Amino acid sequence: MRKILISACALTLSLTLVNCSSKSKNSSSSAEPETAAGQSGALIEDAQAGHGKKGVSAPKSQAAVTTVAAPQKGNAEAATYAQLNLQIKNQEDEAILKEGSSILMKNPNDVKAINAMAMAYYKRGQYPLAKSLLLRALKIEVGAYEVHSNLGVVQLALGDKNEALKSFKKAIELNPNDYVSASNAGSLYVLEQDFEKAAVVLDIAYSKGYRNVKVLSNLGIALTATGKYEKADKIYREALKENSNSKEVLFNHAILLIQFLKKNDEGLEIVKKLKFLGIPEEGRKRLQDLQAMAEKK
């Protein structure tokens, strides 16, 4: 494989997390999150974060909390989760914990309530407690893919990338339609420069319509690294339609155009735009090298 320049900025990780769902393990996640806040790191998202081009925002690593979709078993079960859903929708952590505790008083094994409470603690930065609750939930229902996904996010917050990746992979195994776990796993693979695997799982997220700029950026990197240049070009252009000033995408698109597609004139235009927008000092040398490469040819 040819050596490529990759912008460090392009590996920005966005952590998106989800809380609970009473769907079966074979159903796809459907909660719609808020806009994700960029964070230095890797592109990480979670199992029930949301669909489309949105993500979830958080102070450091924020969880995307989804409502509990109660199965169609009558009004009684729907009523059980009505208040919990309301608090999740309002992102009221204290109220989530209170309502979750109330549900657990009646049923100590309610996985949805445990999951919701775990992510409320996660948002407070109480990672060990969140992890403990999620492990408890998995002892009750080992096939709850959304719990595996959330466990991966918490493990990542605790600095255990290997275990986090295992959790994301387990979530995908349980629910092949879990595009959030796929995007999270893909982000970790990109960070580890395992681009073949990254391309496979990120394509799952893409094919399911999960196409925010960070997911597209990581997919573009993976496709470039695996020699799928024309497809990478398409992905970067799609990302730039969403955010035409994304420095990460612009930088990596310029690399693709100049180093691989030999479209030097178009690549140089992007280099000029990046100089105008300004990039961190550590990236300026790379940008100069890229410009020199284009002007030589």
Return d(Cα 69, Cα 164) in angstroms, integer: 25
Residue span of the structural domain in which 86 resides: 9-192
- The answer to the question of residue 228 being in a domain is no
Return d(Cα 152, Cα 63) in angstroms, integer: 12
In Å, what is the CA distance from 233 to each residue of 63, 142, 213, 217, 229?
A: 31, 40, 14, 11, 6
- The answer to the question of residue 163 being in a domain is yes
- The answer to the question of residue 109 being in a domain is yes
Return d(Cα 182, Cα 297) in angstroms, integer: 38
Label residue 229 exposed, middle or buried (CB < 10 Å: 0-12, 13-18, 19+).
middle
pLDDT digits (tens, 9 = 90+) for 71-104: 444 566 678 889 999 998 898 999 999 999 999 9
- The answer to the question of residue 79 being in a domain is yes
Check which CATH number belongs to the domain holding 73 and give it.
1.25.40.10
pTM exceeding the 0.85 threshold for the entire prediction:
no
Three-state SS at 4 = coil
- The answer to the question of residue 131 being in a domain is yes
**pLDDT (0 to 100) of residue 297:** 65
In Å, what is the CA distance from 187 to each residue of 16, 69, 137?
A: 12, 28, 26
Q: How confident is the model at residue 51 (pLDDT cuts 50, 70, 90)?
A: very low
- Count of structural domains, the chain: 1
In Å, what is the CA distance from 71 to each residue of 24, 81, 111, 123, 184?
A: 9, 11, 14, 27, 27
Tokens of 74: 């009558």
- The answer to the question of residue 31 being in a domain is yes
Return d(Cα 187, Cα 196) in angstroms, integer: 12
- The answer to the question of residue 23 being in a domain is yes
- 8-state DSSP, 49: S
pLDDT digits (tens, 9 = 90+) for 141-199: 999 999 999 999 999 999 999 999 999 999 999 999 999 999 999 999 999 999 999 99
